[in-house]
Structures are given as C-alpha cells and as structure tokens.
Structure 1
Amino acid sequence: MANLKSFEELECWKAGKELRVFVSKLTKRFPLDERYALTSQIKRSSRSVTNNIAEGYGRFHFQENIQFCRQGRGSLYETLDHLLIAKEEEYIDEPDLIVGRQLIEKTTTILNGYINYLSEAKKKSLRVDTDPTN
C-alpha cells in the first residue's frame, strides 16, 4: 500500500466513487421541489465519502487519516438514510434501494479494511519509535 501515488488508487475511494456516481444519476429522477432538500443532502453525503478518504490520505499522521476515514464511514450511513427516505417518499423503487444498499455495504467493508490497515500501521510505527534498540 505504501507504493500508492494517489488516493485515487485506494479501493475504498474507488468504491465510494461508484456510489457517488450512482447517487448522482439516481437523483436526476427526484422531483424538482426536492432539489435543495433531499437531492442536495444525498449528493453531499455521497460526495463526503470520497472527500474524506481523499483528505485523510493527504494527512501526515495515521490517526488523522483514520479519523477522516471514520467520518467518511459516517457519510455512508447518512447516504443510506437518505436512500431510505427517498424510498419512503416514492422517489426511488426497491431495486434502486437494493443497489444503493449493496454499494454502501461494499464501500463500508473496504473502508473498514483500510481503517484496520491504518490502525496496524500506526501500531507498528509506534513500536519502531519507542524501541530502544533503534
């Protein structure tokens, strides 16, 4: 993972992008009177996933990266809630909700793996820093 040149190579970012594109296409079908309400909210929450992954990637310390990834994970659940509202309001149908839920679950799983990787890397760096034999 240390050989990555950009956050765009992270699998969690790629999965988040897939969700973001899905949401963007889906919201084009929402009623115009929702443009500044639910449409805006769901677009912002889905964009926040990849925004936070990218910002965390640009941070110097593991803990900061982890924190931004956790915020991105929160945005995944916020996006799911917006999708549930859209279904209740009959802006989307069950198949759309299923696809959205699958994309969110996929992204969450990959992002959790990345968070675990960062946590382990943080532990290793702390051991190296405190090892008196270095």
Structure 2
Amino acid sequence: MRNHKDLIVWQKSMKLVKDLYQITQVFPKEEIYGITSQMRRAAVSIPSNIAEGYGRGHDKELIQFLYISLGSASELESQLIICNDIHYLSTQSFEELNSLNNEIIRMLSSLINKRNILPC
C-alpha cells in the first residue's frame, strides 16, 4: 500500500463527498448553516480522517482515525435519514447516498478489524 489514495474506501468516500455536495446545493438556503453544513462536514471528515490516519504511520493512530471516520459516516447516516424524512432528498438520492455510505461503513469496520489483529 503506497498511501491512503490507493484505498478503495478513501476513493468511495471522496465520491460520497462530491455527490453529497451536488445534491445539497438544492437544499433550502436557510439550511446552509444547518443540516447542509453538518452533512458536508460529516462527509468531508470521512476521507480526511482516513488520510490523516495513514499519514501518521502507526497502526494505533491509524485505527483511532479510522474510528473517527466511522463515527462521521454514522453521523451522516442519521442526517441522510432526517433529510429523507423531511423530503429534502428524493427517494433515489437518498438510496444512492445511503447505499454508498453504508458500503463505506462496512469497509471501515473491516479495515479496523484487520488492523486490530495485526501485531504492533
């Protein structure tokens, strides 16, 4: 593994960020400092923390940052559900974003589990 950009989970999380930014552009303007901002921050946090963890160079720190990414993905999951419930998202947009986010959650969990069993 050369760096974080080689990780499929990082690549997918970058796609999630781009997709989310496009979709939230049509959210009500009064939400720019509310749910829109919260969702964007949570989404950006996912690949950012993967990158920071890999940049640290130690498994213990990497695992810590992967957990932060996992937390951000879980936060985003709740926000997506809220936006679907209040009809800020179309059914198709919700399903696409939620499916990608759930895939990222599974990949992060798997990566954490693999790293946790490696000797230090």
- Tell me if structure 2 keeps the 8 A contact 1:12–1:114: no
- Equivalent pairs counted in the alignment come to 120
Identity of aligned residues (%): 30
TM-score by length of 1: 0.83
Measured after TM superposition, the shift of residue 76 of structure 1 is: 0.5
Measured after TM superposition, the shift of residue 26 of structure 1 is: 0.9
Map of 2:56 onto structure 1: 59
RMSD between aligned residues: 1.2
Map of 1:105 onto structure 2: 102
> Which runs of structure 2 are paired with 1:1-134 in the superposition (5 Å)?
4-121=1-118, 123=119, 125=120
Unaligned runs of 5+ residues in structure 1 are: 126-134
Structure 1 CA distance, aligned partners of 2:106 and 2:16? 13
Higher Rg:
1
Residue by residue, what CA displacement relative to the aligned partner does 1:2-23 show, whole Å, maximum 9, x if unpaired?
A: xx22211111111111211111
- Tell me if structure 2 keeps the 8 A contact 1:46–1:75: yes
Measured after TM superposition, the shift of residue 117 of structure 1 is: 2.3
Moved over 4 A (4+): none
Letter in 2 for 1:35: I
Structure 1 CA distance, aligned partners of 2:28 and 2:114? 41
Unaligned runs of 5+ residues in structure 2 are: none
Measured after TM superposition, the shift of residue 101 of structure 1 is: 1.3
Residue by residue, what CA displacement relative to the aligned partner does 1:37-82 show, whole Å, maximum 9, x if unpaired?
A: 1111000000000011011101132111001001100100111111
Measured after TM superposition, the shift of residue 27 of structure 1 is: 0.4
